[in-house]
Amino acid sequence: MVFNDLLQGEIRENIASQHGDFIIQRKDRIIAYQLAVVIDDHLQGVNHIVRGYDLLESTAKQIYLHQLLGYQAPSYMHVPIIVDQQGQKLSKQNFAQAVDDSNRSQTLLQLLKLLKQNPPSTLANASVKQLLQWAIENWQPQKLSSMTTIN
């Protein structure tokens, strides 16, 4: 399987040797994540997926399922994940401290800086709406290329 990740570049995986058979339906007859997400994305008309680098490994399997089902695979972009000082992903799963949402503008500004987007100092006191508008208009994912984590 060869696909082009919009940030990570060309990705090559041999599903048979690297992953082998993978589960598409669990013993309890519940559809497993890999198949469920492919069908869900197709039914919703999803054509671009931006997610963390830690999910890159599952992408080839999902594209493979898209092909088997005759679906058009979406475009993928895997951005670096934010990690703590020990290199562990910041997530609920790893009991990371919750984001303080008392000052959403400052949190968003800090995230834009972490993501190497370099918001101008004139946005220091901007509203969430203004920051999001700036981020949409100025998003430069190539600044994250060759990065898998951010701390």
Q: CB within 8 A of 96, min separation 6: which ones?
A: 84, 89, 90
Q: What is the pLDDT of residue 97?
A: 83
Domains and CATH numbers, the chain: 2-79 (3.40.50.620), 83-150 (no CATH)
Q: What is the pLDDT of residue 20?
A: 83
Instruction: Provide the angle, in degrees to the nearest 10, between the axes of the packed helices 56-69 and 33-44.
Output: 60
Nearest to 76 by CA among 56, 61, 94, 92: 56
CB 5 within 8 A of CB 12: no
How far apart, in whole angstroms, are the C-alpha atoms of residue 41 and residue 17?
Answer: 26
pTM metric for this prediction: 0.82
Q: What is the pLDDT of residue 34?
A: 93
Q: Residues 23-59: pLDDT tens digits? A: 889 999 999 999 999 999 999 999 999 999 999 999 9
How far apart, in whole angstroms, are the C-alpha atoms of residue 143 and residue 139?
Answer: 9
Chain mean position to CA 142: 14
Mean pLDDT by 10 residues, the chain (151 residues): 94 88 92 95 97 93 96 96 86 83 93 93 95 96 88 81
Number of H helices, E strands in the chain: 5, 6
Nearest to 62 by CA among 39, 45, 80, 46: 39
Nearest to 45 by CA among 12, 6, 74: 74
Nearest to 133 by CA among 105, 97, 102: 105
